[in-house]
Amino acid sequence: MLIGVPKEIKNNEFRVGLIPANVHELVKQGHQVWVETQAANGIGFSDDDYRQAGAKILTTAKEIYDDAEMIVKVKEPQPCEYAWLRENQILFTYLHLAPDPQQTNALIESNAICIAYETVADAYGRLPLLAPMSEVAGRLSIQVGAHYLQKMDGGRGILLAGVTGVEAAKVVILGGGTVGRNAVQMAIGLGADVTVLDRNLDALRRIEMQFGNRIKTVFSTADALNNHLLEADLVVGAVLVPGAAAPKLVTAQQVKQMKAGSVIIDVAIDQGGCIETAHPTTHEQPIYMVDEVVHYCVTNMPGTVPRTSALALNHATLPYILKLANLGYPKALLEDSGFMQGLNVCCGQVTNQSVAESLKLDFMPAEAVLSSL
């Protein structure tokens, strides 16, 4: 198979779909890999590194889209890339379609085979291609939150850990999944006062077993959420409904009642955000203020640490890329029901039910589409 790796063009995005080591693995198994020039310069991999791994270096992204049978990326295609996608071409990347009707319609019109990292599942129902970036985003949320709590950055002027005789900052984490657990790990490591809210008791039990009495866990009711928001210095939105738009857990009225200078990090912003006042931001302009509350809603948070993120992502995606390349997409997906859950749009049909419901589009089961090919 001819596999193409364009350079990412989303704002301040330096990650890459294939690192040289993974290119080498694909070439060893008889595949061709074309990489856009300087695709990974931002994370320390040169064109020569790719040539030594067996890749061909091309000058433009369009050359890659024109001929590659599979495009491997990190972030969703940007509007200028929509027209380059073509019928029966595989696109394997993060898509986050539920809050993005423009992209979804473009993928439908392309008749391409669009597989989203974030909805691929394993045999246990986990999300193995979302997990590494959720780990990064969860840990970053506390690091970023600590920064924006500083007075010169709009915050209350609070040190997360406090000092002798001064209380630590109160960190409230909404969601006890992968993002939430990693946020907890960083927050307690920095000495913060941490509370996790979730409606899933099993998730709360896992966090208690891992961190013991160093944190507080609370079943998330409307009253509990409201009370903890009023006390919070830093709120991390860490909720996920795979493939679907994130539920709005925090209202604009609740944000208005929060402490002036408190900080919200909405990690769920890729799926539309779980805070009513949240809207997507970029690394170039990461924050804005609403009612004196700092909002950080960058849609590609792991891009802040692109080398770490690219390596972690590539370790997770390689087995799936090899499966697609070696078997072809119909067989690779039909033989693995979890992998098939990653198929969001195929041959002009929306094949992910959550995406279809979020955008009020017609839904066609992935298996039905693939079996008809």
275: left (phi over 0), alpha (psi -120 to 50) or beta: beta
Q: Are strands 90-93 and 70-72 parallel, antiparallel or unpaired?
A: parallel
Q: What is the spatial distance between Cα 294 and Cα 281, in angstroms, rounded to a whole number?
A: 12
- Active-site choice (96, 193, 233, 336): 96
CA 304-3-243 angle, 5° bins? 55
Concerning whether 96 is annotated as a catalytic residue, the answer is yes
Q: What is the spatial distance between Cα 291 and Cα 88, in angstroms, rounded to a whole number?
A: 48
Q: What is the spatial distance between Cα 196 and Cα 95, in angstroms, rounded to a whole number?
A: 28
Q: Count of CB atoms within 10 A of residue 78's CB?
A: 13
Q: What is the spatial distance between Cα 364 and Cα 265, in angstroms, rounded to a whole number?
A: 35
| The token pair that represents 284 in the structure block | 């170039």
Q: What are phi and psi of 256, to 5 degrees?
A: -60, -30
Query: With contact defined as beta carbons under 8 Å apart, do 97 and 345 qualify?
Result: yes
- Active-site choice (100, 193, 270, 336): 270
Query: With contact defined as beta carbons under 8 Å apart, do 68 and 91 qualify?
Result: no
Concerning whether 47 is annotated as a catalytic residue, the answer is no
Q: What is the spatial distance between Cα 190 and Cα 185, in angstroms, rounded to a whole number?
A: 9
Residue matched to tokens 């994130």 = 246
Query: With contact defined as beta carbons under 8 Å apart, do 265 and 234 qualify?
Result: yes
**Burial tier of 248 (Cβ tally within 10 Å: 0-12, 13-18, 19+):** middle
Q: What is the spatial distance between Cα 77 and Cα 346, in angstroms, rounded to a whole number?
A: 16
Percentage helix, strand, coil, to 5, in the chain? Answer: 45, 20, 40
Query: With contact defined as beta carbons under 8 Å apart, do 143 and 183 qualify?
Result: no
- What residues are labeled active site? 96, 270
